[in-house]
Amino acid sequence: MFPEGPQNENYKKKSQEVTDHKNNLKACLLQAARFYKNQLSTNNSAILYLKNRAITGKTAAKFHLGFSPDGWQNLEKVFEDYTNSSDLLDAGLVTVSENSRKRFDRFRKRIIFPIFSKNGEVIGLGGRLITTDKDTPKYLNSPETILFSKNIELYGLCQAQKSIGKLGRSIVVEGYFDVLSLHQAGFNETVATLGTAFSPNHLAKLEQLTTQIIFMFDGDNAGKQAAWRSMLTALHHFKKQELMIRFAFLPKDQDPDSILRERGAEAIEKILSEALPLSTWVLETICSPSSTSSVEERTVATKKFREIFKKMTPGIFKTQLTREVCNRLGCSTEEILGKNNQNVVRVKPIKKRPKTEITAEFQMLKVLIRNPAYLEKIKIDDESWFLKEYSPILAFLKETLKNADTTLGFDGVIEEFNKKKGDLMGTSFAAFEKASLKDPVLDDILSKGGELNAEFDFLLTTLKIKELEHLTSKLSAEPNIDGKKIKELRTEIIKLKNAQIK
């Protein structure tokens, strides 16, 4: 304990003054939030705006949404000392004109999003303009104050923290309305950054609550750049070795709201289930097989990883990632970490795993990537089961084939894939890259000017047999067995097998 005396008394006094000042600002922000909430209930334009964004009254109430009407000094109705109060300035509720030194409200003609602390106290506000004004920012947040910093706070954390703990995961998105839409659809573990990059402070907050963080970003270049920054933050600052960080990317030109409206919550859950682990995403981004085929490309990748590893904390994750990078790039740990680095991870070379069995489905995918025109041979009746697990890739191939001016070959498919990588997410992206790697048999046939007709026909017959055998097993397990149907299926299976032998 500090000895009692003038210095300690002075410290206590200053500490109490800071606490009192914070409490005064919280009181101002709470009063303002209540005023804006009441204004929303009586403003038809604001209500219509939220309805057009498919935000229900229940969701608006859950997040205590409000509305700041048009006018320069609406808060004068709330605060008697509006003109002179230093607390209103310090809370970021008002600002002062540089020319006239006159006060006016910070938020006007905006949907108001109160920003709560983890303990449920209003510490800041966000606002979204409901009109079109090129000279005014669409979104506006409270300034940095003694209560609020956008590099520390996460929107929706107060409402989400219980679900995050219960579900063992947190979804991180980019905006206020993404949070509202996803909570409304049942994803109550969703939070958002406040117009800034995901920071070490954000990571620390979520690490305290969960062992899984899923970032959900737009599939465009801006989304990829935001994901890259978040990835670096995670790699350099995460402390829990068991923390699972994953990246999910939305289809281009779509946001959570549009996906929920068109395809429902199941589509969002599917995107989340296909989210790439942090290690997979960083490896695929920097050293995928298609981007490290030359010595020069591998040199660039090695340099990028060297910069990343410099700032990483030693641990199991760093050891495993170093091993994987060295195996992919064919380099030593000293090349990645530096010879004199104290944190050099001594990695024993791992034995190559035996090759996994290539399924007929995957072999067919390899054929179709080399010649998408074979898709036209698939009958409509067979489309319901044909390569169902690769349906996003088939959709991409069909679209590419449709837009092609000339006959589309393997090189053309790869060129289109490199242009539209964002259209394929998660496991589909990885499967496409794997299927496009060199195949000694198929590529040898194509290099000699041959066609893959025989391979396609054989594989299609194999897959048909597999599907019919599955149907037969399913029918046989039903309480009321349809003997006639089963017999028909078995006859068809034998017929196909005989044709295959010939």
7 lies in some domain: no
Residue 494 has a pLDDT of: 83
| 482 phi and psi angles, rounded to 5 deg | -95, 90
In the structure, what pLDDT confidence band is assigned to residue 409 with cuts at 50, 70 and 90? Answer: confident
Q: What is the spatial distance between Cα 326 and Cα 298, in angstroms, rounded to a whole number?
A: 11
Q: How far is CA 69 from CA 36, 138, 208, in A?
A: 8, 15, 39
Q: Is the confidence at residue 454, as pLDDT, over 80? A: yes
Please give the structure tokens belonging to residue 312: 């990483």
Q: Is the confidence at residue 4, as pLDDT, over 60? A: no
Residue 337 has a pLDDT of: 83
Question: Which residue range(s) make up the domain with 441?
Answer: 360-501
Same domain, 490 and 409: yes
Same domain, 92 and 126: yes
Q: What is the spatial distance between Cα 103 and Cα 89, in angstroms, rounded to a whole number?
A: 9
Same domain, 192 and 242: yes
Q: Is the confidence at residue 316, as pLDDT, over 50? A: yes
Same domain, 364 and 497: yes
The pLDDT mean for the chain works out to 85
Q: Is the confidence at residue 428, as pLDDT, over 80? A: no
Residue 3 has a pLDDT of: 53
Same domain, 261 and 321: no
351 lies in some domain: no
Domain count of the chain?
4
Please give the structure tokens belonging to residue 381: 């009746």
Average pLDDT on 267-275 reads 90
Helix or strand holding residue 276 (H, E): strand 276-277
Residue 67 has a pLDDT of: 97
Q: What is the spatial distance between Cα 88 and Cα 24, in angstroms, rounded to a whole number?
A: 9
How many other C-beta atoms can be found within 10 angstroms of the C-beta atom of residue 404?
Answer: 15
Radius of gyration of the chain (CA): 29
Q: What is the spatial distance between Cα 3 and Cα 192, in angstroms, rounded to a whole number?
A: 45
239 lies in some domain: yes
Same domain, 39 and 133: yes
Q: What is the pLDDT of residues 152-161, one digit of tens each?
A: 999 999 999 9
Helices and strands of the chain, counted as H and E runs: 21, 11
Residue listed under structure tokens 């034995």: 351
Please give the structure tokens belonging to residue 279: 């290690």
Q: What is the spatial distance between Cα 51 and Cα 262, in angstroms, rounded to a whole number?
A: 16
137 lies in some domain: yes
In the structure, what pLDDT confidence band is assigned to residue 101 with cuts at 50, 70 and 90? Answer: confident
Residue 231 near residue 186, CB atoms below 8 Å: no
3 lies in some domain: no
| Final residue belonging to a domain, choices 264, 283, 302 | 283
Question: For the chain, how many residues are written?
Answer: 502
Helix or strand holding residue 157 (H, E): helix 157-167
Q: What is the spatial distance between Cα 298 and Cα 292, in angstroms, rounded to a whole number?
A: 5
Residue 350 has a pLDDT of: 44
Helices 295-310 and 221-237 pack at an angle, to 10 degrees, of: 50
Instruction: Give long-range contacts, CB 8 A cutoff, 24+ apart: 3-8.
Output: none
If you average pLDDT over each of 118-127, 322-331, 400-409, which comes out highest?
118-127
Average pLDDT on 60-77 reads 95
Q: What is the spatial distance between Cα 463 and Cα 460, in angstroms, rounded to a whole number?
A: 5
Please give the structure tokens belonging to residue 284: 């695929």
Where on the phi/psi map is residue 156: left (φ > 0), alpha (ψ -120 to 50), or beta?
A: left
* Of 306, 220, 284, residue with least CA distance to 432: 284
Residue 212 near residue 168, CB atoms below 8 Å: yes
Same domain, 390 and 422: yes
What sign has the CA pseudo-torsion 339, 238, 269, 176? Answer: negative
How many other C-beta atoms can be found within 10 angstroms of the C-beta atom of residue 445?
Answer: 16
| Final residue belonging to a domain, choices 75, 109, 141 | 141
Helices 295-310 and 278-287 pack at an angle, to 10 degrees, of: 140
